[in-house]
């Protein structure tokens, strides 16, 4: 005959709420006159170290050519006075900074910087050598045919392997459409491809900017409606490729106006920069504070331990037979007083768990305020569980759980407390405790 003992099988169940990002954009704030001028100031882009603001200013008192690169240095509370002192990065054509390397030692620039050409369309790069920038070197983009009097926009990410391009293409959906070109090897780039029909409209899409995680693109468009002439939108990457994106989402009235809003980028401390002509028809640079609120946390794994029988070989005990002792000493029996123990069975209490957080302050329960007080239970693992209600039967708790789920808490579940144990009565294979 075999004996039966028990081993323990740990099953993992996921509880908690998946993370959800809620992004809001603060009210637009115009930069000081140290940056903005009586000319159009557009295309703001903050350097990798956050210490320099590059932007473009139309021809005026300080610049006699078309559009020139200006820069302002970071001060304690603001930006210093903007200057055109950018060495030979400005020429007689339109110039702009459209990207930095991570280390800040490479600039990507609008303009081909090729002498003798009537139309210097294109993109170039310049390397920092000491305190000076090298002569910009033209970047060849295969399949990109520059057409006079057409608008082109570029952005190169800090990893220097993704280039976003706004341009008119032969098979485009509207005017300028958003395209992407990927780095191939050390110096070559792929032929630009459209980001797709749900991203590009029958109007124009321009001034693309890619976030540092490579998952979100900000751009401006007049083809998706909104507050005014052109609004700023963003799209999120939905897959592993570069051609599956969410539908465009408008940044809202705090950023967009009834005028022209474009050239959105993000600097240090989640501060967004953009250009707008909302005040008097002249483009100035504005900022907006990006507020990211994370609702929920990564699902928490709670282990449920289930006992399983394990067959073992019987243990054979050796029986020792002793010879009887001739002399028997009779002893008075010892009478022990019985100890009375009172056994009380503890009734089960059912409750509904709605969330579990390592940091309890991260949980927003405002959507459940109609249910009354939410209890907090902290177990040995330091995780705070949030529960609602107390019931004497499982059926009552299950009905209550349905109400909680209908109010926006889809992962609520029932917990039972009995005999000092916390169990999961909804599990199909019996109760398990912790």
Q: What is the tens place of the pLDDT at every residue in 367-406?
A: 888 888 898 888 877 788 889 999 999 999 999 999 988 8
Is the pLDDT confidence value at 305 over 70?
Answer: no
Give the model's confidence band at 428: pLDDT under 50 very low, under 70 low, under 90 confident, else very high: very low
Is the pLDDT confidence value at 32 over 90?
Answer: yes
Q: What is the pLDDT of residue 419?
A: 82
The tens digit of pLDDT for each residue in 85-113 reads: 766 798 888 899 999 999 999 999 998 78
Q: What is the pLDDT of residue 345?
A: 54
Lowest-pLDDT range of 50-59, 109-118, 322-331, 408-417: 322-331
Give the model's confidence band at 120: pLDDT under 50 very low, under 70 low, under 90 confident, else very high: low
Lowest-pLDDT range of 61-65, 127-131, 251-255, 426-430: 426-430
126 vs 3 pLDDT, higher one: 126
144 vs 234 pLDDT, higher one: 234
Structurally, what CATH architecture does the domain formed by 3-17+298-423 represent? 2-Layer Sandwich (3.30)
Give the model's confidence band at 5: pLDDT under 50 very low, under 70 low, under 90 confident, else very high: very low
Give the model's confidence band at 326: pLDDT under 50 very low, under 70 low, under 90 confident, else very high: very low
343 vs 352 pLDDT, higher one: 352
Is the pLDDT confidence value at 267 over 60?
Answer: yes
Give the model's confidence band at 3: pLDDT under 50 very low, under 70 low, under 90 confident, else very high: very low
Structurally, what CATH architecture does the domain formed by 20-295 represent? 6 Propeller (2.120)
Q: How far apart are CA 404 and CA 367, in angstroms?
A: 10
Lowest-pLDDT range of 66-80, 125-139, 343-357: 343-357
Secondary structure E strands in 185-313: 188-189, 193-194, 205-210, 216-221, 231-236, 249-250, 261-266, 271-276, 284-295, 300-312
Q: How far apart are CA 221 and CA 258, in angstroms?
A: 13
Q: How many helices (H) and strands (E) does the chain have?
A: 1, 29
Q: 3-class SS at 173? A: coil
Q: What is the pLDDT of residue 1?
A: 46
Q: Where are the domains of the chain?
A: 3-17+298-423, 20-295
């Amino acid at each position: 005959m075999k004996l039966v003992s028990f081993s323990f099988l740990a099953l993992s169940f996921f509880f908690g709420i998946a993370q959800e990002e809620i992004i809001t954009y603060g009210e637009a704030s115009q930069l000081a006159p140290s940056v903005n001028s009586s000319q159009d100031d557009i295309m703001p882009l903050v350097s990798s170290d956050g210490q320099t603001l590059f932007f473009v200013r139309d021809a005026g008192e300080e610049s006699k050519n078309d559009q020139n690169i200006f820069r302002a240095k970071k001060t304690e509370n603001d930006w210093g006075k903007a200057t055109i002192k950018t060495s030979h990065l400005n020429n007689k054509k339109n110039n702009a900074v459209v990207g930095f390397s991570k280390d800040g030692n490479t600039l990507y620039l609008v303009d081909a910087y090729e002498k003798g050409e009537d139309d210097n369309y294109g993109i170039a790069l310049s390397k920092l050598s000491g305190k000076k920038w090298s002569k910009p070197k033209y970047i060849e983009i295969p399949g990109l045919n520059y057409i006079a009097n057409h608008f082109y926009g570029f952005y190169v990410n800090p990893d220097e392997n993704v280039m976003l391009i706004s341009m008119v293409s032969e098979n485009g959906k509207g005017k300028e459409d958003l395209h992407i070109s990927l780095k191939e090897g050390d110096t070559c780039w792929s032929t630009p491809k459209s980001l797709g029909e749900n991203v590009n409209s029958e109007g124009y899409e321009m001034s693309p900017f890619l976030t540092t995680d490579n998952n979100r693109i900000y751009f401006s468009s007049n083809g998706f409606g909104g507050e005014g002439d052109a609004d700023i939108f963003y799209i999120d990457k939905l897959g592993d490729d570069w051609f599956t994106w969410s539908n465009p989402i408008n940044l809202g009235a705090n950023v967009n106006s009834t005028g022209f809003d474009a050239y959105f980028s993000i600097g240090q401390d989640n501060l967004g920069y953009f250009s707008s002509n909302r005040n008097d028809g002249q483009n100035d640079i504005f900022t907006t504070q990006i507020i990211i609120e994370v609702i929920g946390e990564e699902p928490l794994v709670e282990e449920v331990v289930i006992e399983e029988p394990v067959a073992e070989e019987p243990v054979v005990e050796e029986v020792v037979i002793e010879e009887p002792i001739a002399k028997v000493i009779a002893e008075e029996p010892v009478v022990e007083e019985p100890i009375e123990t009172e056994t009380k069975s503890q009734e089960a209490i059912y409750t509904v768990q709605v969330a579990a957080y390592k940091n309890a302050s991260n949980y927003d329960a405002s959507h459940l305020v109609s249910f009354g007080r939410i209890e907090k239970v902290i177990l040995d693992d330091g995780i705070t569980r949030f529960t609602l209600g107390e019931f004497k039967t499982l059926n009552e708790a299950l009905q209550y759980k349905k109400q909680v789920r209908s109010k926006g808490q889809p992962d609520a579940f029932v917990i039972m407390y009995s005999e000092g144990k916390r169990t999961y009565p909804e599990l199909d294979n019996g109760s398990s405790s912790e």
